[in-house]
Amino acid sequence: MDTFKPIIGLEVHVELATASKMFCGCPADHFGKEPNTQTCPVCLGLPGALPVPNKKAVEWTIMLGLALGCTVNEESKFDRKHYFYPDLPKGYQISQYDQPLCIDGKLGDIRIQRVHLEEDTGKLQHAVGVSLVDFNRSGVPLVEVVTEPDFRSIEEVDVYVKKLQQIIRYLGISGADMEKGTMRIEPSISLSTDGKIPNYRVELKNVNSFRFVRKALEYEIARQQREGHIQQTRGWSEDKNATVVQREKEEAHDYRYFPEPDIPPMRWSGRQISDIRSQIGELPDEKKERFMKKYGLSDYDATQLTETRQRAEFFEEVAKEGTPKAIANILINKKVTTKEELMKFLQNAPSISADELQETVERILKENPKAIEDYRNGKEQALMFLVGQALRQLKGKGDAQGISAIIRRLIV
């Protein structure tokens, strides 16, 4: 029997947190607003309305591309992507085709094919016997990050999308919140028996959480093994807990791309690109490495403290108030938001005996055999999980680095 291996690529769409939409002056913050109250002739696609590009959205797209190691195209342009759907009033979407803003990047081991900019569509709301369209989202700037089909497991997908979300939030260009729809993931998956890229792929739509990405891919791998391989676009149905057919997959020529005639090409000088690069600042992995070297923190502690830019900046602000390792332990295990709260914890920091620490760790290991197995199989996150469980039981009295050392010793 043939052994099938998944070949996965991703398209990640992120709404940029600009004040106005991509090609008009309407507010871009549409979440929770009364339907169709943030529209104008441009984002409604009315005849004679002309688009004017949002400079900030273009610069933020380049910033993200640079943060992902991309090359910025010195000349780029917008194109019309034609298709007919009720949420697309013009009958085409202004996007980018053969000259995207950024190309050839990398995040970890995953190659990024392109980072380009387009406008979002309206949003369909289905009720009994009728579908309604809210155009508040129509025209919101939408950056798309497209990978090569480099993923070979669902775990790799999970790590990538969470790291991408973290970088986007560090840059401050979007909340990248899947629950609000400001970050949307569209995996494409095929199965291979020889490791080569097959001549088909199934694109998955309507996946609006990290958990559903995992479930949709798990279902689709099993379905393709069971039913065979055909190129399709499928949607994830939360109600059915399954993927469902939407349409046969289109190719680029089906969209009849051509250059947007109302927007001239964009050209970038080396100085302009350097100016944008200078706005990026320290990214999560760089910050984590610096914290480990400068403050002597463990990998686990540094990872926790750099989870968000705000948390990392707060740690740096208060690190001079005492021993960095002790402060890190408090911030990781307690809800501390002000310097005053931190000082109280430092003054009343509890201690723990070596015997109590050992007994707690042994109990945690006994309660979590699956995590031990995962760690032995090379999943470093399983170790972080076990450390976290021990710290919770110790109520902040333990040291993450010390607990980690004990766990490694006990489960070698």
pLDDT band of residue 406 (cuts 50, 70, 90) is: confident
Comparing CA positions, the residue from 134, 146, 128, 271 lying closest to residue 203 is 146
pLDDT band of residue 224 (cuts 50, 70, 90) is: very high
The string of pLDDT tens digits covering residues 68-118 is 999 999 999 999 999 888 999 999 999 999 999 999 999 999 999 999 999
Torsion angle, CA of 166/170/173/178, rounded to 10 degrees?
20
Question: What local confidence, expressed as pLDDT, does residue 255 receive?
Answer: 86
Instruction: Name residue 119's beta-bridge partners.
Output: 141
Question: What local confidence, expressed as pLDDT, does residue 174 receive?
Answer: 97
The string of pLDDT tens digits covering residues 174-214 is 999 998 999 999 999 999 988 889 999 999 987 888 999 99
The string of pLDDT tens digits covering residues 104-114 is 999 999 999 99
CB contact set of 303 (below 8 Å; sequence gap of 6+):
288, 384
Structure tokens at 100: 């995207």
pLDDT band of residue 412 (cuts 50, 70, 90) is: low
Sort strands 202-205 and 232-237 into parallel, antiparallel or unpaired: parallel
Comparing CA positions, the residue from 39, 9, 285 lying closest to residue 138 is 39
Interval 348-375 mean pLDDT: 82
Instruction: Name residue 27's beta-bridge partners.
Output: 20
pLDDT band of residue 1 (cuts 50, 70, 90) is: very low
Chain position carrying tokens 């409604």:
44
Q: pLDDT higher for 128 or 34?
A: 34
Sign of the CA dihedral with 119 first, then 125, 131, and 133 last: negative
The string of pLDDT tens digits covering residues 256-315 is 999 999 999 999 999 999 999 999 999 999 999 999 999 988 888 899 999 999 999 999
Rounded distance, CA 212 to CA 373, Å? 25
Whether the predicted pLDDT of 126 surpasses 90: no
Rounded distance, CA 395 to CA 75, Å? 56
pLDDT band of residue 230 (cuts 50, 70, 90) is: confident
Question: What local confidence, expressed as pLDDT, does residue 398 receive?
Answer: 67
The string of pLDDT tens digits covering residues 323-345 is 888 888 888 877 888 888 888 87
Q: pLDDT higher for 248 or 389?
A: 389
Sketch out the chain's domains with CATH numbers. Answer: 5-277 (no CATH), 282-336 (1.10.150), 350-412 (1.10.10.410)
Question: What local confidence, expressed as pLDDT, does residue 139 receive?
Answer: 97
Are the beta carbons of 25 and 170 closer than 8 angstroms?
A: no
Are the beta carbons of 95 and 120 closer than 8 angstroms?
A: no
DSSP code, position 81: E
> Could you give the angle at which helices 309-318 and 284-295 cross, rounded to 10 degrees?
20
The string of pLDDT tens digits covering residues 128-179 is 889 999 999 999 999 999 999 999 999 999 999 999 999 999 999 999 999 8
Judging by beta carbons within 10 Å of its beta carbon (0-12, 13-18, 19+), is residue 14 exposed, middle or buried?
A: buried
Mean pLDDT lowest among 53-57, 106-110, 128-132, 216-220: 128-132
